[in-house]
Amino acid sequence: MTDVQLRATGIRKLFGRFVALDGIDLSIDRGEFLTLLGPSGSGKTTFLMTLAGFLEPTSGHLEEAGIDITRQPAEVRKYGMVFQGYALFPHMTVEENVAFPLKIQKIGAAERRQRVGAMLTTVGLEAHRNKRPSQLSGGQQQRVALARALVFQPKVLLLDEPLSALDKNLREQMQGEIKQLHQKTGATFVFVTHDQTEALALSTRIAIFDRGRLQQVGRPDLVYERPVNRFVAEFLGRINLLPLHEARCDGGFLRGRFEDCTLTAPAGDGAGQNGASDNSIVAVRPEYMALSASRPDADGWNGVPATVANRIYSGATSLLELRTRSGVELCLDVRSADASAEFRPGADVWATWPVERGFALPEKSSH
Amino acid sequence: MIWTRRGVGYLALIAPLPVFLALAYGVPFFGVAGWSLTLPEPGLSNYERVFTDPIVLGVLLRTLRICAVVTIVTTAAAYALAYIWVQGSPRQRIFVEFCILVPFWISTLTRAFGWLVLLYNRGLVNTWLQDLGVTTEPLTLVRNEFGVIVGMTHFLIPFAVFPIASAMRHLDERVLLASRGLGAGRLRTFWSVFLPMTMPGILGAALIVFVFSLGFFITPAILGGGRSVMAAEFVYVQLFQTANWGLAAAISVVMVAIVAVLVTLLFRLTRVEKLMG
């Protein structure tokens, strides 16, 4: 049973003639970790700023627990907010920064001290309480920003690319901490990022934006394994796309010719009836492809002949780049310990994958 | 290292400025300091007079008082202007730019006489006030400290706008959003975040205005009408009317010392501010 906390209906935002958001419908459940993912300029930050109350949508509305809050200013909504670049108050100490929202709410000095102390302990900064933000490292500043945004126990925490300024190791560590804070506080987290690995690792659901439109919303494994269009498929990671001739839908499967081979893939939710199909591309993630020296003869496998063009060794795995006869480029990840990693550039091979690991996509992105 | 060929080249490039400053400021200053200790006879008698003569002390105190008021009024007005300049709509920005730049094109003398026309007993302001029945007698708006303060403030506002506007421009907009997101309204955000974060600009502007105003000559001479004599005018009188060069020199040295102390103090303050930022 889901409990909708925020519901956006038909949110449109224009900046002059530029359409930043083009009819966003999205429900955010209480306590979920929703990531808004997309390239820069896709509208994800604009949508977050609309949720926060810093931007008023040109049309459409926003509800919190059934109450219209479209025109409510940010200071009334009181969602915690963490910014890229932290936005700490430089003229206040760590302790004063964290105490700021409690002071605004006129919470007494004793309780304030106790709550600030508890929050600083949670983020591991009690030793730095009297320092100024400029005396802290990037990771520490980010923890202060999180503490400040969570200390007044907001119902919703909005995070705008909070980790993009940190280096890789620290970023991974902070991802873990943010996930723990989410579990500990039970607040609804809405997190903006352009980094798909971050989105996949953190979220309970991902909402993918492109050019002001919501492309797909769903669990990380579903959007990764069953993207609804090429944009989502390509944005979430490397993908092999094989265009089919005479593609037909038949018993829940898409079938068609690629070069001299017949390929089959599950038709997906979109395709209902048998017959001609809008979908005409078979997509396969590189990690589900395997190599063999001969044509696969087992049932339920697809195979495409190709030549090894390049091999990039990266420790545990190797990336192999292949080219089919008609020049379609394929890539696949293999474990460096496997026999298939032994194929050298120039070798003729078969790229194979189980039918159920592929999926059907329409030719064009749905714009 | 400085004596490599390249180092000598760079030195030659920057040398004219320090040499010019030394000749145009250093030499005359030591000359003046010399007069203060030797005219009319060697000794500290001129300095003794500066700190004991009620007339001289009165002039110095009046100068400091007028400058303090001018500094406060100018900085406050410039802060409001700079705020509109940085945060306002495009039309408001153009209006503020106009207000800041136009005074730069008009000479000090013209502006002082302009204020005289507006403020003297039968000037525009008094005529209107009496025509409207607000006052029956003309108000004394010039030939006193009020007139001097009005004229000086008007002259100095543009100089104060620039450092304040620069501080406002460098402020990260997201800090203000963060404050509002944490529940602080616009007014609270202004007092708790915007004002303290632009404080270095305010201090810088106040310093510039104060130092400038200490040496004002034309504006107080015209709008003070010989009654609200400030230090610069007093020095002029001592030099060219009573031929009291030693005293004039001593007052000048004391003024330079006051400015030096203030500048040092303010640099300390702003460095502390930078540590905070």
All residues of chain B having their beta carbon less than 8 Å from the beta carbon of residue A74 are 177, 180-181
A212 lies in the same domain as A294: no
pLDDT, residue B271, reads 63
Query: Strand, coil or helix: what is A301?
Result: strand
pLDDT at A1 over 50: no
Q: For residues A76 and A210, state if they share a domain.
A: yes
Query: Could you tell me the domains of chain B?
Result: 1-38 (no CATH), 54-276 (1.10.3720.10)
In chain A, how many H helices and how many E strands? 9, 22
* Whether the predicted pLDDT of A363 surpasses 80: no
Nearest to B184 among A52, A75, A158 (CB): A75
What's the pLDDT at A367?
44
Q: Is A99 a member of any domain?
A: yes
Tell me the per-residue pLDDT of B199-223, one tens digit each, with 9 for 90 and over. Answer: 989 988 999 899 989 988 888 888 8
H or E element at residue A188: strand A188-193
The DSSP secondary-structure symbol of A43 reads S
Does the pLDDT at position A279 exceed 80? no
* Complex ipTM value: 0.78
Mean pLDDT of chain A: 89
Confirm if A34 and A8 have CB atoms less than 8 A apart: no
Same domain, A49 and A84: yes
By CA distance, what is B199's nearest residue in A?
A91
Q: How many CA atoms lie within 13 A of A298 on its CB side?
A: 7
> What CATH number has the domain bearing residue A32?
3.40.50.300
> Same domain, yes or no, for A81 and A223?
yes
Chain A residues lying within 8 Å of B192, measured CB to CB: 100
| H/E segment holding residue A311 | strand A301-314
Tell me which of A215, A234, A253 is where a domain ends: A234
Candidates A252, A258, A249, A246; CA nearest to A302 is A258
3-class DSSP assignment, residue A96: helix
Helix, strand, coil distribution of chain B in percent, nearest 5: 80, 0, 20
Q: What is residue B275's predicted lDDT score, i.e. its pLDDT?
A: 44
Residues A331 and A223 in one domain: no
Total CB pairs under 8 A between chain A and B: 78
pLDDT exceeds cutoff 70 at B3: no
Task: Summarize pLDDT for B224-275 with one digit per residue, the tens.
Answer: 887 788 899 999 999 898 888 999 999 999 999 998 998 888 778 766 555 4
Asked if the structure places residue A194 within a domain, the reply is yes
Same domain, A109 and A224: yes
Whether A101 sits inside 8 A of B199 (CB atoms) is: no
The answer to whether residues A17 and A124 belong to one domain is: yes
Q: Which two tokens stand for residue A151?
A: 């200390």
Host domain of residue A308: 238-362
pLDDT of residue B277: 40
Query: What digits encode the pLDDT tens for the residues B156-178?
Result: 999 999 999 999 999 988 999 99
Determine the straight-line distance between the first and last CA of chain A, rounded to whole angstroms: 33
Would residue A149 count as lying in a domain? Answer: yes
Which of A234, A253, A275 is where one domain is finished?
A234
A288: alpha, beta or left, given left = phi > 0 and alpha = psi -120 to 50?
Answer: alpha
Residue B2 is predicted with a pLDDT of 56
Q: pLDDT (tens digit, 9 = 90+) per residue, A127-149? A: 999 999 999 998 899 999 999 99
Question: Quick check: is A334 in a domain?
Answer: yes
Asked if B181 lies within 8 A of A78 by C-beta distance, the reply is: yes
CB nearest to B182's CB, from A53, A73, A100: A100
Clarify whether residues A95 and A179 are in a common domain.
yes
Question: Do A54 and B177 make contact, defined as CB atoms within 8 angstroms?
Answer: yes
The structure tokens 């059907």 sit at: A360
Of A84, A105, A134, the CB nearest to B183: A105
> What's the total number of domains in chain A?
2
Residue A49 has pLDDT above 90, yes or no: yes
Question: What is Dmax (Cα atoms) for chain A?
Answer: 77
Has residue A170 been placed in a domain?
Answer: yes
Q: Is the model's pLDDT at A205 over the cut of 50?
A: yes
CATH number at residue A247: 2.40.50.140
Question: Would you call B185 and A75 a contact, using CB atoms and an 8 Å cutoff?
Answer: yes
Residues B13-43 as b or e (16 or more Cβ within 10 Å = b): eeeeeeeeeeeeeeeeeeebeebbbebeeee
Q: Which residue of A77, A84, A104 is the best one to mutate when testing the B interface, meaning the one whose CB has the most B CBs within 10 A?
A: A104
Give me A288's structure tokens. Answer: 């589900």
pLDDT in tens, B64-109: 999 999 999 999 999 999 999 998 899 999 999 988 888 778 888 8
In degrees to the nearest 10, what's the CA dihedral of A181, A196, A7, A75? 50
Clarify whether residues A11 and A54 are in a common domain. Answer: yes
- Residue B191 C-alpha, separation from nearest chain A C-alpha, in angstroms: 12
Query: A8 by DSSP, 3-state: which?
Result: strand
Does residue A54 sit in the same domain as residue A69?
yes
Specify the pairing of strand A240-243 against strand A279-284. antiparallel
Q: Which long-range contacts (CB under 8 A, 24 or more apart) does A165-169 make?
A: A165/A84, A165/A85, A165/A86, A165/A138, A166/A138, A166/A139, A166/A142
Q: What is the mean pLDDT of residues A228-253?
A: 87
pLDDT tens for A333-359 read: 888 888 777 788 888 899 999 998 998
All residues of chain B having their beta carbon less than 8 Å from the beta carbon of residue A88 are: 175, 178
Give the orientation angle of helix B45-52 with respect to helix B54-87, to 10 degrees.
70
A331 within domain boundaries: yes
CB distance A134–B192 less than 8 Å? Answer: no
Q: What is B152-202 written as a DSSP string?
A: HHHHHHHHHHHHHHHHHHTS-HHHHHHHHHTT--HHHHIIIIIHHHTHHHH
DSSP B250-263: HHHHHHHHHHHHHH
The pLDDT of A76-84, averaged and rounded, is: 90
Q: At residue A351, what are phi and psi to the nearest 5 degrees?
A: -90, 125
pLDDT of residue B273: 53
On whether residue A367 sits in a domain, the answer given is no
Tokens of A121: 């302990």
Mutation target among A77, A86, A89, A97 for the B interface, most CBs of B within 10 A: A89
Domain termination site, one of A234, A258, A287: A234
pLDDT at A335: 86
Q: Which residues of B touch A83 (CB under 8 A)?
A: 174, 177-178
Minimum CA–CA partner of A74 in chain B: B181
Q: Tell me how far apart the alpha carbons of residues A135 and A97 are, in angstroms, rounded to a whole number.
A: 14
Domain check: are A253 and A228 in the same one? no
Distance from CA of B184 to the nearest CA of A (A): 6
CA distance A88 to chain B (A): 6
What is the reported pLDDT for B104? 79
Least-confidence region, from A74-78, A277-281, B33-37, B101-105: A277-281
Residue of chain B whose Cα is closest to the Cα of A87: B175
Where in chain B does DSSP place strands (E)? none
Residues in chain B whose beta carbon is closer than 8 A to a beta carbon of chain A? 172, 174-175, 177-186, 188, 192-193, 196-197, 199, 275-277
Q: Is residue A89 part of a domain?
A: yes
Tokens of B119: 């403020």
Indicate the range of A162-166, B1-5, B248-252 predicted with least confidence: B1-5
Q: What is the pLDDT of residue A313?
A: 86
Q: pLDDT > 90: what percent of chain A?
A: 57
pLDDT at residue A360, rounded to an integer: 87
Q: Do A220 and A77 fall within a single domain?
A: yes
Contact A308, A343 (CB under 8 A): yes
Do residue A89 and residue B172 have CB atoms under 8 angstroms apart?
Answer: no
At residue B276, the pLDDT reads 44
